[in-house]
Amino acid sequence: MSIFFNFACGLECSESDYLWDNHLLERIKNMLLVTTIIKPHKFEDVKGALIKSGVAGMTISEVKGFGRQKGHTETYRGSEYEVDVLPKIKIEILSSDEYVESIIETIQASANTEKIGDGKIYIQKLEECIRIRTGEKGKEAI
Ligand SMILES: Nc1ncnc2c1ncn2[C@@H]1O[C@H](COP(=O)(O)OP(=O)(O)OP(=O)(O)O)[C@@H](O)[C@H]1O
Ligand SMILES: [Mg+2]
């Protein structure tokens, strides 16, 4: 029984049809990769808040980068074309889409200093995820 058919048949559908569709919906829910670039001194706060919110795992990298101010702080430090590449922390989290809103809110609340350079959060759709030990795939593997 397809979702479309259930939609089309409206109240004619049996309870088992709905259960089947719920199962299907559960399987096709998107898996997402949430990446955030934050200031290094906010890392412990952000990590703690994410763990508290129930995040199961994360990958952390030390990276360098610049944004719109080209790495310059409020105090002008370089010539017009000079770019300062500043150290940042990158956190990657695999998640199914129902948790992503909460992850975004948690990062935003814990990483924000209200100053320039606080960083970014960006989301990508994930094709597949596989748990190496068991071979589980998809959301089961997250
Ligand atoms: N367009 C971008 N592409 C890739 N990475 C980026 C981009 N913009 C920012 N970053 C990464 O995010 C880090 C922090 O960027 P930053 O917070 O300064 O962005 P911004 O857009 O300049 O915002 P703000 O005005 O608040 O400073 C950068 O050091 C870089 O690693
Ligand atoms: Mg900036």
Q: Where are the domains of the chain?
A: 11-141
For ligand 2, a single-atom ion, the residues with CB < 5 A are: 67-69, 116-117
Report the CATH number of the 11-141 domain. Answer: 3.30.70.120
Q: Whose CA is nearest to atom 14 of ligand 1?
A: 119
The pLDDT value recorded for residue 27 is: 53
Ligand 2 mean position to 119 CA, how many Å?
Answer: 7
The pLDDT value recorded for residue 21 is: 63
List ligand 1's pocket residues with C-beta within 6 A.
37, 65-69, 86, 88, 116-120
- Going residue by residue through the chain (142 aa), what tens digit of pLDDT does each one get? 444 444 444 456 566 676 666 655 555 568 999 999 999 999 999 999 999 999 999 999 999 999 998 888 755 555 666 888 999 999 999 999 999 999 999 999 999 999 999 999 999 999 999 999 999 999 999 9
Q: Which two tokens stand for residue 26?
A: 């559960």
CA distance linking residue 111 with residue 46, whole number of Å: 6
CA distance linking residue 83 with residue 67, whole number of Å: 10
Long-range contacts, stretch 45-50, CB < 8 angstroms, 24+ apart = 45/110, 45/111, 46/91, 46/106, 46/107, 46/110, 46/111, 47/91, 48/110, 49/106, 49/107, 49/109, 49/110, 50/91, 50/93, 50/103, 50/106, 50/107, 50/110
β-bridge partners, 123: 34
Closest ligand 1 atom, CA of 86? 29
